[in-house]
Structure 1
Amino acid sequence: MSSPCGPEHAAVGDVGTALMMVDSRLKSIYDRNQQNDAEQRALNDQLIASMGPGDADDVLDGACTLIYMFMQWLRRAYEEHDKDVIECVVPNLVGTMRVMTRSIRPETIPTMTGLLVAAALDLSPNLWRKQYGYWTKEEMNPLEATAFLLAEHINRITDDRDFATRIITDALTRVDEG
């Protein structure tokens, strides 16, 4: 039976912009260049400031699509080793979010955990979240951090700093060609 929260019912959103924001954050962390980090933040802030309400919603949907795609990739990768993605990924990410006290408020962690579990169970993170009302301002940084942490987790297990970005850009290229 199809769920109303199934990914086939979800808006894909602006995956390209969401990926650019995650990739920008990954590069700033990997490069540890403070000047580059400040420049990247300024560019991201400028991009966000130029968006209208519809654009912001599209990027939000895009971030949820990234979370879904990353969790689907991780689910398949862990299943190949007879492991459960929820058991292997969720506690790690929750523990990391708990120490990110400047970016992630503790009360947002259960929602981000729910997004991860929804995606692992083949549900749309965005549709799952919208059951409980519209997104709050306090959830925006944690949402971006969740997508970033998933990408970083994928990069770490593949030992390739660009792997997570590449799997998404490859998928987007296939869609554009199809």
Structure 2
Amino acid sequence: MLDGSQWGKFLRLRTEAIATVLVGCAESDDFRVENHPWISDFISFLLDPVVSSENVHSFLILCGLIREERKLLLHVVSFCKTNPQTVTQTLHEPLSRWPLYEEDVELVLVTLELLESLLSVNSLRDSVDVDVIYATILQLSENAASEGLDAISTVCKQVIASLGSH
């Protein structure tokens, strides 16, 4: 029988194994993401608000996937366009909460990194309200700077610059 910490470790290892297989498959020129419905299920799991808010590990895995393989970035963008509540609930709302608890800092940093990558794709930018996201990140940056959370403030400025350049 697994206790809570053992179950969490088991789930993390299993998630990492799936991600490793996925990156390995996606690197092949013959691999077509759309031919594998399980990939959408996996992306849905990683972006689930309950999973991602409780476990920054899922966002770290997702960041790794979309950095490693453009096919996966485009698939996640397509998933977000098909499920706009995902962008709002999972990627935008966590950035609008204030004050932050210490355990939320890493999640906010990874969420910002994920948003920056996803919003680099014009088709997603066209389907979400970038101005609202921009305003939220700007407010987060100001709040973080006033509280001495330099890492968040720095990443916010980087994302704001990236949003402005597209």
Q: Is the pair's TM-score, using the shorter chain for normalization, greater than 0.5? A: no
TM-score norm. by structure 1 comes to 0.28
TM-score norm. by structure 2 comes to 0.30
Structure of higher RCO (CA pairs closer than 8 Å, 6+ residues apart): 1
